[in-house]
Amino acid sequence: MSHQQVSTRLHQRFQTWLDAWKKNHVTKEMATDNHRWLMGESKEGMRPCKTSCEPCISHHQTVNRYRVTYSSTP
């Protein structure tokens, strides 16, 4: 079995487990709040910023790389 096959199989197993866990433990509101915070859209006393999400391939899997750009004014 190749490294790519092992990596893909483990990723699929983890994603299946994660999806089931999220279904039982995370509400839609919680997921939305989390996404807004991650993308810098939440203004909870934090320094203003903009977050971009750039999909890329790492170890045979598509992953999201996040880049944060902070505002020069507080």
pLDDT digits 0-9 by tens, 15-68: 999 999 999 999 999 999 999 888 888 777 778 888 899 999 988 889 999 999
Long-range interactions of 27-33: CB distance < 8 A, separation 24+ = none
66 forms beta bridges with: 53
Its pTM stands at 0.70
Domain ranges in the chain are: 3-70
pLDDT value of residue 55:
95
CA distance 38 to 51: 8
pLDDT classification of 2: cutoffs 50, 70, 90: very high
| Strand-pair category, 49-58 with 61-70 | antiparallel
pLDDT number for residue 74: 60
Task: Give the residue, 59 or 14, on which the prediction is more confident.
Answer: 14
